[in-house]
Structure 1
Amino acid sequence: MRLTLLLLIVILGSAHAADTVRLTNGEWPPYLGEDLPHHGVASRIVAEAFALQNVEVQWEFHPWARSLKMAEQGTRDGSAVWLYNREREQRFHISDPVVESGYYLFHRKNRHFDWSSVEDLRGLRIAATRGYDYGDAFQQAEAAGEIDVVRLTGDEQGLRQLLAGRVDLFPVDKVVGFDLLYQQFSAAERRLLSFHPVPLRSDSLHLLLSREVPGNAELMQRFNQSLARLRDSGKISQYLLEIQQPLSLGH
């Protein structure tokens, strides 16, 4: 009897573990955030796609570098959400796109600005957020000293430097930028800013599942199936529409 009960406990415990995925996360409102509704729209999409497979997400919020390292080492199952690159593909199973991200060059409305290539940014003072990748052309020009870039601690600081006239340009994801402007800045300050309609970079963001965790390849297949179902239902478009602030800076 005791052996039967012990086996039952082990079986039930294993079933519960199989129905849970531990994912790291970070702060990037309105896409991701510990205190946001649903932990942000990207977290909501990930969690609901897993829920369609009867898998519950346990979120842990850490600084970005730590979040990625924990997932890479397999101490957590994965992390959300990240850009694709070949190096990450060696360490992670990478999902189909969860959300799309577009970085645009914000500037003060009273400063005429036009561009079509990174060469057009020469001679301008540019702020950028530390640790962010703005695309190969921008990164290479920055590394070579061909463009004048100062790296700051966060997107809010970049926007404040822009408003203060200390820099001429600041690239930021448009949805993130507008969310910051509506949450942390006044209407008068928002009216001072505009952005160029040509994106600096446009990318998709993905769920990463560690290759160090057994079963993650199959779990990613299941996730992608449910992500497609969620997208086809129209819910992803609905959720993304709900977070978008009026895009009216100078336009």
Structure 2
Amino acid sequence: MKQLVVSLAVLFALALHARADTFHFAIDDFPPFVDRQADGFGIGPRIVTAALASQSHQARYHFVPWPRAYRMAMEGQIDGTFPWTNQGDRHEQFLLSAPVFEHRFSLVFAPGQARPWQDFDDLDGLRFGTVAGYAIAIDFYQWIEQTGQSLEEVNSESLLFRMLAYNRFDVAAFDQLAARAYINALQDDVPLVTDLVIEDRAIETSNTVVLMPLGSERSQRLQAILAAGLAAIRADGTYDAIVSGD
């Protein structure tokens, strides 16, 4: 009987191993959430890796420019890409995971441009900036478009902060933690970046998710695995430890 129990345990372990999978994700730097220089590639990959590991799966990460990562997921060339907000029409273009973490978006003002304001109309006449392809702070950027404000798109987050530092435009919306990370990274090269003002007030909060190809059984499987894994690491304290930097 003991030998039978051992044999069943071995078979069960082998079955688990047979079902184990490696999922591939396209990502790019967006510190502190994704950072190729950081332990585990930053907060986001550490969360996803831990969630998958809790379900006996592995993650592999491929650093490519964000537009390419987005396209790869849309075209089914990769299992997923993150972190992206779950805003706009993304639910029509991708299968979305359970929330991975939350973004808090605030206004970042160029040197000398910070001012008190109650609603967006109080910002009328300022020059606004954003990163091409971003779908964040939807109400804010809709107001900019609807009221005909000056809006300049740039190709990277680093360039956005450089141009803010040199007063090429006056204000942009950005995640609070990420804004501080970019300022820290750029301050030696662009000392004026330390004069930027990040408001404590959040103009929007948004969950970030993994975008996965539509119409794929593998995507549906990954969606279920991530949901179970994220719930597991929240329950056992792993999630909080990663977010807090432990």
Give TM-score, length-normalised by structure 2: 0.81
Indicate the larger mover: 97-106 or 180-189: 180-189
Aligned to 1:219: 222
State the aligned residue count: 230
**Offset, 1:200:** 2.8
Q: Find the aligned partners of 1:93 and 1:59 in 2 and give their Cα distance.
A: 19
* Runs of 4 or more above 4 Å deviation: 15-18, 108-112, 186-191
Q: Find the aligned partners of 2:125 and 2:37 in 1 and give their Cα distance.
A: 40
Indicate the larger mover: 67-76 or 52-61: 67-76
Whether the 8 Å contact between 1:155 and 1:177 is mirrored in structure 2 is no
Aligned to 1:78: 80
Q: 1:16 and 1:61, CA in 2 relative to 1: closer, same or farther beyond 3 A?
A: farther
Aligned to 1:193: 196
**Offset, 1:139:** 2.7
- Structure 2: which 5+ residue stretches go unaligned? 1-13
**2:66 partner amino acid:** W
Identity, in percent, stands at 23
Q: 1:223 and 1:193, CA in 2 relative to 1: closer, same or farther beyond 3 A?
A: same
**Offset, 1:123:** 0.8
SS at match of 1:212: coil
Q: What aligned pairs does 1:2-17 form with structure 2 within 5 A after superposition? A: none
Q: Find the aligned partners of 1:88 and 1:16 in 2 and give their Cα distance.
A: 33
Aligned to 1:202: 205
Q: 1:17 and 1:63, CA in 2 relative to 1: closer, same or farther beyond 3 A?
A: farther
1:231 aligns with one of 215, 231, 234: 234
Which deviations, in whole Å up to 9, do the C-alpha atoms of 1:67-125 show, x marking residues without a partner? 12222222222222211146322343212211111121122564451223322221112
Q: Does 1:115 align with 2:121?
A: no
Q: Does 1:58 align with 2:65?
A: no
**1:131 partner amino acid:** G
Which deviations, in whole Å up to 9, do the C-alpha atoms of 1:154-187 show, x marking residues without a partner? 2332323333233322322111111111222059
**Offset, 1:241:** 2.4
Give TM-score, length-normalised by structure 1: 0.80
Aligned to 2:163: 161
Q: Does 1:69 align with 2:71?
A: yes
